[in-house]
Every structure is written in C-alpha cells, then in structure tokens.
Amino acid sequence: MNLQQFKQEFRIASDWKYDPWGSIMEVFFQVAFHALEKGLNIPSEWGFNPGMDSVDEDSYWFSMLSECSDSDLLHIGRFCNKYNDLLHLAGKSY
C-alpha cells in the first residue's frame, strides 16, 4: 500500500468523520510499531515511545501495513504525524 492507497482506504474504513484524531492515532501507532519491527529508524518528530505495546495483529490495518515497503510505511507515518499535528492545532485532539 502506498500513501495514496492508504488515504483512500482511510476515508472508507475509519471513523475519521466522527473521531479524526482517534482514527489517525490508531493507524499512526500501528505504522510506528511496524517500522520498529522492521528495524527502521523512526523519525524523532513522531515522538514515538513503544512502551510495552507492539503490532496489533487484530488491527484492521495489520495486513495492509505488513505489505508496505519501508519507504511507503515511512511516508504513511509522516502523513499521520502531519495530520495529527493539524488536528492538534485545530483543537481536535484529546
């Protein structure tokens, strides 16, 4: 899945209209966990701290993110981070 495909799937599959911040954060955490498992360098601006969680194999996004190239995974993560920042500035984070 590339970024464009992710955006299309996100619009269809997520509750983004009702809970945009919760929806993007669900994906963002899964992207970061997938990147961590692949041994990728997670950008510091993501502020990601894995704690005790890991990839959620029951997540809707699991198989799609598992099939991403390293580059696509990081592009999706950057998009999620930017979207999170915009939602925070708009007062839609919690």
pLDDT at position 16: 80
Residue reference for tokens 């029951």? 58
In tens, the pLDDT along 17-52 reads 889 999 999 999 999 999 999 999 999 999 998 887
Residue 29 neighbours by CB under 8 Å, 6+ apart? 48, 53
pLDDT at position 50: 84
In tens, the pLDDT along 41-84 reads 999 999 998 887 778 888 899 999 999 999 999 999 999 999 99
pLDDT at position 43: 95
Quick check: 9 pLDDT over 90? Answer: yes
